[in-house]
Structure 1
Amino acid sequence: MTIGALLTGLFFIFIHFMTNKILPTERLMQLRWFSFSGGLAVSYVFVYVLPALHTEQQNIALDLTLFAMQSEIYFIGLIGVIMFYGSQLYVRQRAHDNELTFWTQILFYTTYNALVAYVVISAQVSVLQALFYSAAIGLHFIAVAHDMWREFAEKYNTVGRYMLALGILIGWGLGVFVEFTALVQSIIFAFISGAMILNVFKYELPEDKYAHFPTFASGVIMYTAITLSLKFFFEW
C-alpha cells in the first residue's frame, strides 16, 4: 500500500465522520462554503475528469480494435448519468416513505463511494497528487454527506455515516489489493465520472438564490490555476 493510498483512504473516512464538525455553523458562511466547494468540483470536472475520459477512450481504442466509434467510454459515462439521475428521481418521488428513501439513498451512495475511492486510490499517483486530487473529491463527499445528514440526521449519525465509510473501505481495499484489467478500470472510471458530473452540476451547486458567485468563481480559478500549473511544471 502506498502512502498516497493510505492518506487518501483515511481522509475520505474522516470526512464522513466529521462533516458536521467541518462545515461552518453560520448560515451565510455555510452557503459560501458550498459555493466555493462547488467551484472546486466544477473545475475538477473540466481540468481532470473530462480530459481523463478522453485519454481512457484513446487507450481502449488502441488496445481493442472492436471499439471503433471513438465514443464507447462516453456512452458508459452516460449510463452513469442515467442510473444516478433515475435513482435520485425514485427517491424524491417516494419521499413520504422515509425508511425506503433512507436505505435507497444510503445503499446507492455506499456503492458510489466505493467506486470513487477505488478510482482515486488505484490511480497510483504520488503522495502530493493524491492529496491534491483528494481535496476536490473530499469536498464533493462533504456535500453528499451533508445532504444525507440534513434529510436524515438521526439515521445518518447512527447508521448512515458508518455505511458510507464502509463504502470507502471497500473501494480502498479494491484499489490496493485487486488489479482489474485496463478495460474494466476504464469502464469503472467512465461510469462513476458520469454520475459525478451529474451530481456536481445538478445537486452540488447551490440554488441561484443561495449561490455566491464571487466565492464560486474564486474556487474555480484557484483550483484550475493550481492544477494547470502542476500539470505544466511537473507533467501530471
Structure 2
Amino acid sequence: MSQAIVTALMAVAFCAVHIFVGRLEFLDREPRSRWLSFAGGVAVGYVFLHILPELGSHATTFEQALGLPPTLSESWVHALALAGLVLFYGIERALTHSRGRRRAEEGRDRPHRGIFRLHIAASALLIFVIAYLLNHREDTTAAGLILFFAAMILHFVTADYGTRHDHPEMYDERGRWVLVAATLVGWAVGTQLVLPQIVVGFLFAFVGGCIVLVVLKEELPEERKSYFLPFLGGAVIYSMLAIGEQYLAA
C-alpha cells in the first residue's frame, strides 16, 4: 500500500474525530474523563520526544539557508514555537473574556460568534499544517508515521472536545465542517506540493508550540478537574513506544 493511501486513511480518521466528537458521550462527564487526560499526556509526549528534538535538525537548515550562526538559528526556531504558543494563548484568552462578558450581560455561557469563528479559523490552520505534515515528516519510517498518527488523533480528541464545549451549536452547525475541510485540503496539498526544508522546519516549530498550549489549556485549569495519573500514563506509554522505536531504528 502506497504512503499516499495510508496517509489518506489517516486524514479520514482525523475527519471522523472532527465530525463525531460530540457523540463520544463517555468524554462528556463530570469530573473530567480520564481518557482526555490520557490523550493530553500522549500529545505532550509527542511534542517533547519528536517535535522538539527535530527542531535541532531544522535549526541546522535555518543555519545553512539563512547563513545564521548556530545559536541564532536555534533561537529563531524556538521563537517560532513560542509564536505558535502565544497565538493560541491569545485566542484562548479572547474566548474566556468573551464568555465572561456574555454571561454577565446576557446570561449565556457562550463566547461571541465572531470570537468563536476566530478560534475555528486558528484551529483549522493548525489542522491544515498537521495534515500536510502527514506526507512530509523528518521520520519517514512506518513506525514513526504510526506514532505521529496516534499522537495527533488523540490530540484532536482533546482539542475538538474543548472547542465544541465552548460553543456546541456553532461547532456542530459549521465549525466541524471547516476542520474537516482543513484536514482534507492539508493532506491534498501535501501530496502535490513539496515545500523547502526551511518552511517545513517553520511548520514543525509552529505546530509544537500550538499543541503544548492547547493540551495544557485543557489539563491545567482547576475547573477542568483533570487527572494526573492518566496524563502521566499517556506520557509514559508514548515515551516508551517512541524511545523503543528509535532504539530499533538505530
Give the TM-score of the pair, scaled to structure 2. 0.84
Q: Which residue identity lines up with residue 76 of structure 2 in the other structure?
A: E
**Alignment root-mean-square deviation, CA:** 2.2
1:222 aligned onto 2:248: no
- Per the TM alignment, residue 232 of structure 1 is displaced from its structure 2 partner at its CA by 0.4
- Per the TM alignment, residue 208 of structure 1 is displaced from its structure 2 partner at its CA by 4.6
- Per the TM alignment, residue 119 of structure 1 is displaced from its structure 2 partner at its CA by 2.4
Q: 1:187 aligns with which of 198, 202, 222?
A: 202
Partner-residue secondary structure (3-state), 2:194: coil
**Is contact 2:37-2:231 (8 Å) kept?**
yes
1:77 aligned onto 2:81: yes
Which position in structure 2 is the counterpart of 1:100? Answer: 114
Which position in structure 2 is the counterpart of 1:122? Answer: 136
Aligned pair in 2 of structure 1 residues 26, 77: CA closer, same or farther (>3 Å)?
A: closer
Identity %, equivalent residues: 24
Give the TM-score of the pair, scaled to structure 1. 0.89
Q: Deviations over 1:38-94 (max 9, x none)?
A: 211221121112111122112322444235413211111122222222222223222
Q: In structure 2, what is the Cα distance between the partners aligned to 1:4 and 1:57?
A: 29
Q: In structure 2, what is the Cα distance between the partners aligned to 1:51 and 1:228?
A: 12
Q: Deviations over 1:115-159 (max 9, x none)?
A: 122223322734443232111111111111111221221221121
Q: In structure 2, what is the Cα distance between the partners aligned to 1:55 and 1:23?
A: 41
Q: Which residue identity lines up with residue 99 of structure 1 in the other structure?
A: R
Aligned pair in 2 of structure 1 residues 160, 212: CA closer, same or farther (>3 Å)?
A: same
Which position in structure 2 is the counterpart of 1:136? Answer: 151
Aligned pair in 2 of structure 1 residues 23, 228: CA closer, same or farther (>3 Å)?
A: farther
Q: 2:61 aligns with which of 50, 59, 62?
A: 59
- Per the TM alignment, residue 25 of structure 1 is displaced from its structure 2 partner at its CA by 5.0
Q: Which residue identity lines up with residue 112 of structure 1 in the other structure?
A: L
Q: What is the aligned length? A: 234
Which position in structure 2 is the counterpart of 1:145? Answer: 160
Q: In structure 2, what is the Cα distance between the partners aligned to 1:91 and 1:80?
A: 17
Aligned pair in 2 of structure 1 residues 25, 45: CA closer, same or farther (>3 Å)?
A: closer
Partner-residue secondary structure (3-state), 2:33: helix
**Unmatched 5+ residue regions in structure 1?**
none
Q: In structure 2, what is the Cα distance between the partners aligned to 1:36 and 1:117?
A: 22
Q: 1:49 aligns with which of 43, 48, 51?
A: 51
- Following TM superposition, the consecutive aligned residue runs of length 4 or more in structure 1 with deviations greater than 6 angstroms are none
Q: 2:10 aligns with which of 8, 12, 32?
A: 8
Partner-residue secondary structure (3-state), 1:121: coil
Partner-residue secondary structure (3-state), 1:2: helix
